[in-house]
Amino acid sequence: MIVGAVQDAQFGPLVMFGAGGIEVEAMKDVAFSLAPLKAEEAEYMLENTWAGRRLKGYRNLPPADRLAALQVILRFAQFAADFPELAEIEINPLRVLDEGQGLLPWMCAHVWRNLEVYPMKQLEFRYHPDLLTRFPDICGGVILAQELNNAPTPPDLLQAYQTEQRAVLYKIGEQPLSEIPSLAAWRAAFRLFGVDPTKYRSAAEALLRRLTKKGDIPSISALVDLCNLVSIRYALPVAALDARALSGAVTVRFATGSESFTAHDSPEPEHPESGEVIFADPADLVVARRWCWKQSLESTIALDTTSAILTVEAQHPGGYKDIQAALKDLSILLERFIGGSFKAGFLSIEQNAFAWNG
C-alpha cells in the first residue's frame, strides 16, 4: 500500500491512499481526498480502491488489518491539515499485516519543505526609546537565526564547554561575583528599575553562581550549551529565544503590568510588575522578565527549534568590546555546531533596532 499527503496549490491539503510499491505506477489504483477527513470519508477511500477492498480478504488471502489502514489515513489527513509547511509526505510501501496485527512501513517517509507555504520568519529585536533614556549606556549584540539544526550536544562541543567551565572557575578563584564589573553593572541596572539583584539575579550571574557552588553546569542541548559557554566566558547574559510563538518584533521595554508571562518552570501565567524591564512582542507576550532574569515557556529552546533570536547585552564601561568578542564567538560556534542561516548586528542608543527576514 501507499499512504501520503500533499499540499496542492489549488485544493490545499490532500491525503492519498492506494496500491503501493511498483503498483503505484502500474495500476494507478489511488484515491485522493481533501484533508482533514471524517471516518466515513476515509472508509470511502478504502472502498474506492482495489487496494482498500482487498484488505477484507480475497480468494486465499486472509483479511488484513483494515482498521489500522483506516487510522493511518485519518492521521495523515490531520497531519497535512495541521502542518501546511510540508509540501509532500508519504510511506511507500506500507505493508498492512493480518487482522489485528497493525502496519509495517518498508520505506521511511519522505518530506519536502514548501517554502511558498512556509516562508522564513521575519525576526526583529529592538530597544524602546524610553528604555534607552533610562539606560543610555546599554549595548547589545543580536543574532537572528533561521533554519537551525539544534541537537543533543556533540562530544567536541561538550568538551569545549566543560573546558571553559574549568577555566572560568580558575579565573574567578575567590573573587566575589558581585565584584566582577559586568555583573556589578547588571546589579546596578536591576536596582534602577526597582528589583533587588540579590533576590533576582541576572542570567549570567545565576549561571556563574551555579558553577562556583556546584562545580559544573549541566548540558542541555547544542544551542543552549554554546550560548552558556559564551555567557560564562564574558560574564554577560546571553539569551536564546525560540521565535515560533512570536507575533512580531521583540522589544525590550518597561512593562505596563497587563502583559502575560508563563515561566519555563511554572505552568501558571502571571503578569509582570509595572515598570520592570521585559522582552515582549506586539501581542504583549512576555518572553523574558526582569530584563535578563528568566525566560518564558514559549521562548525556551528545544531540539526542534529552527528559528531563534540570540542576544548578549552589557551595561558596564567597555562593554561594547566584550559584546563584539562574544558575538564573534557565538557566530563561530553556531556555524560549526548548529548551521542554518543567521545575521548578526549591534544595538545601542544610536541604533535601537535590528531586523532580518532571511
CATH number at residue 94: 3.30.470.20
Looking at the structure, tell me whether residues 200 and 251 fall in a common domain.
Answer: yes
Q: How far is CA 205 from the centre of its chain?
A: 24
Residue 106: its pLDDT value, please?
56
Low-confidence ranges of the chain (pLDDT < 70): 9-10, 21-27, 85, 104-120, 358
Beta bridge partner(s), residue 112: 88
Residue at 99: amino acid letter: E
Which of 113, 134, 159 is the C-terminal boundary of a domain? 113
The residue among 89, 113, 137 that closes a domain is 113
Cell of 343: 545575521
**Structural domain contains residue 294:** yes
Q: Is 46 helix (H, G, I), strand (E, B) or coil?
A: helix
Residue 129 CB neighbours (<10 A): 10
Number of domains in the chain: 2
**CA angle 67–71–74, rounded 5-degree value:** 140
Cβ–Cβ under 8 Å, residues 182 and 236:
yes
Residues with Cβ within 8 Å of residue 101, at least 6 apart in sequence: 65
161 & 291 share domain: yes
Task: Let me know whether 25 and 140 are in one domain.
Answer: no
Question: Three cell numbers at 331?
Answer: 557566530
Residue (of 51, 13, 5) closest to 29 by Cα position = 51
Q: Pull the grid cell for residue 105.
A: 512501513
Which among 160, 179, 175 is positioned nearest to 316, based on CA atoms?
179
Kindly state whether residues 267 and 327 are assigned to the same domain: yes
The β-bridge relationship of strands 250-254 and 123-127 is parallel
**Does 181 share its domain with 329?**
yes
What's the pLDDT at 3?
87
- Burial class from Cβ neighbours inside 10 Å (0-12, 13-18, 19+) for residue 315 reads buried
Enclosing domain of residue 102:
2-113
Tally the C-alpha atoms within 13 A of residue 210's C-alpha that lie toward its C-beta: 15
157 and 107 in a single domain? The answer is no
Say whether pTM exceeds 0.75: no
The answer to whether position 289 is within a domain reads: yes
- Report yes or no: 76 and 89 within 8 Å, Cβ to Cβ: yes
Mark whether 108 and 134 lie in a shared domain: no
Cell 530597544 -> residue: 127
Q: 237 is written with which cell numbers?
A: 547574559
pLDDT attached to residue 259: 96
118 part of a folded domain: no
Taking a C-beta distance cutoff of 8 angstroms, is the pair 253, 128 a contact? yes
77 plus 131 within the same structural domain: no
The reply to whether 235 and 334 lie within a common domain is yes
CA-based torsion, 165, 170, 173, 177: positive or negative: negative
Domain stops at, among 62, 80, 113: 113
**Residue 145 cell numbers, joined:** 537565526
